[in-house]
Amino acid sequence: MSMLSYIPFVYPLQSVYAWWYVLLIPLALGISVVWKAIRVPDFNDYWRQVVAMTIQIVLAMIGLALLLALFVQVVIPRLPVDMS
Amino acid sequence: MTSDVSDTSTQPELRPLAGILAWAWPGLGHISIGQKRRGVLIMAGMLFMILTGLFAGGLDSVDRREDRLWFIAQAGCGPVAFVLDIANQSMLKAGRPPTDPARLNTVSMGRPNEMGTLFIALAGLMNVIVVLDAAFFDPKRSAGEAPERMRRRRSDRRPAKTPDDDTSDNQTESNEAAPDDA
């Protein structure tokens, strides 16, 4: 598909293949906007709470990814192999 | 005896119309019960997630036939998901066999499809929470009253008050926060 025939929101964005993980940030932001809109009793501190929740989600995901990578790259190769 | 009566009066009541409206269009349920700002923010957040999903994965992110389980989650978005599915089936897939090169160029596969599907499915699941919140909305929240545990913490810090003082305090809080959604 050439760029000339590309229609946004109808055809997929091909460059997502390379940077799909960056989409975690808008995903976390969207969830935070909706969740905080439901939960906060008043809106004085709303956007600060949204940003804080977004950062928490992204950091938690990065932490989980690092733990998983550690497990797959370091722990699993050291497990004893039963050759019998 | 008096405290029992006041406890039952603070139970959130069921608002079926607000729940239906919240499903029909995200945020509309809260707007219908006077929570205009809450409703607008919910609407903005949901549309942001749906549009970002469509932008990444295209129309093929919503597919009732090929991604049936995902579509169950996406259906939480309401009629929007069904309209997107109809558009997908009629614009991208109608009359084209799966091996047609023209179809392969327009449908999304791999990461774009995964991310688009995930965005809209999460939007649908969030909207289920929104529907429940609109249907069982507690008006005390809009009056700026803190949850029970925060109230308990506050009362631990403050010196003991008479019941009359507590009533006047709550009234002041309500009057201060109420104009938000007026």
ipTM of the complex: 0.85
Tens of pLDDT along B42-57?
Answer: 999 999 999 999 999 8
B52 touches A at CB < 8 Å? yes
B174 touches A at CB < 8 Å? no
Alpha-carbon distance B67 to B60, whole Å? Answer: 10
pTM of the model: 0.76
Tens of pLDDT along A22-80?
Answer: 999 999 999 999 999 999 988 999 999 999 999 999 999 999 999 999 999 999 999 98
What is the pLDDT, as a whole number, of residue A81?
84
Q: How far is B106 from chain A (nearest CA, A)?
A: 6
CB B29 within 8 A of CB B130: yes
CB B20 within 8 A of CB B79: no
What is the pLDDT, as a whole number, of residue B171?
44
DSSP letter for each residue of A22-83: GGHHHHHHHHHHHHHHHH-SSSTTHHHHHHHHHHHHHHHHHHHHHHHHHIIIIIHHHSPP--
Token pair of B129 as six digits: 């929470």
Alpha-carbon distance A24 to A35, whole Å? Answer: 16
